Amino acid sequence: MRLDKYLKVSRIIKRRTVAKEVCESGRVSINDKVAKAGTVVNEGDIIQIQFAKQTLRAKIVNIAAHVTKENAKNMYEIISGEEDTE
């Protein structure tokens, strides 16, 4: 699954266009490598997102094309940082 779509489906970032912009600005890395919006994510990858004043690190636990709002939090595991995102 594409990185920008994963960020939207998992509700780490609310909109795919915002996720794409964040990726294009170089503020997202996967396994410590800067990632573009089209980068394919896999289970076990570590995503790091630099927001304005904080950094969120999360491990990808599950990849699914469609999930409910309640199940979206089961797609990742917070390693460090706040869960309150953009």
Nearest to 28 by CA among 61, 6, 44, 9: 6
Domain 3-80 sits in CATH at 3.10.290.10
Sheet with 33-34: list strands edge to edge.
Answer: 33-34, 28-30, 46-50, 55-60, 76-80
Q: What is the mean pLDDT of the chain?
A: 90
Q: Which residue has the tokens 């990858």?
A: 45
Q: Where in the chain are the domains?
A: 3-80
Q: Is the pLDDT of residue 13 over 60?
A: yes
Band (pLDDT 50/70/90 cuts) for residue 81 is confident
Report the pLDDT averaged over residues 46-61. Answer: 92
81: its two tokens = 């940082």
